[in-house]
Amino acid sequence: MKNLVRLTLVLAVLLACVPLVSAADAPTVVGTWDAVSSTPNGEMPAVITIKQVDGALKAEIELEGEKRVVTDEKREGDVFRMKVQYEGGVYDVEAKITGDVLEGTWQGGGYSGTLKAKRRP
């Protein structure tokens, strides 16, 4: 019985550490990113700033000289997701984080395209 209790305690400690290891190993998305999206009207540059605020990610996007409303920011492993309001629509953005590069896609309003961004030093 004592061995079963010890084994249970050891497993509980190991399982509690798994999220910490995963979070530590996941790439950070926090920073300022110079981005370019491919759109049906050509390339569209943007500046994306992502901060950690009270334990949650908060993104700001400046697109065509204006800050846009961003919601639902999430990082799951090496993937960052957010929703961006633009010209009356909501666009889903998903990008893989690889060091100082974000690469992914956006879609909304019947359109879709790619996104590439590089973190500023």
- For 5-61, write each residue's pLDDT tens digit: 443 334 444 444 444 434 455 679 999 999 999 999 999 999 999 999 999 999 999
Domains parsed from the chain with CATH numbers: 28-119 (2.40.128.120)
Compute the 3-state secondary structure of the chain and give helix, strand, coil in percent, each to the nearest 5.
Answer: 20, 60, 20
- For 49-103, write each residue's pLDDT tens digit: 999 999 999 999 999 899 999 999 999 999 999 999 999 999 999 999 999 999 9
In contact, 94 and 74? CB cutoff 8 Å: no
User: Phi and psi at residue 17, in whole multiples of 5°?
Assistant: -80, -20
Under DSSP, is residue 5 helix (H, G, I), strand (E, B) or coil?
A: helix
For 96, counting Cβ atoms within 10 Å of its Cβ (0-12 exposed, 13-18 middle, 19+ buried), the class is middle
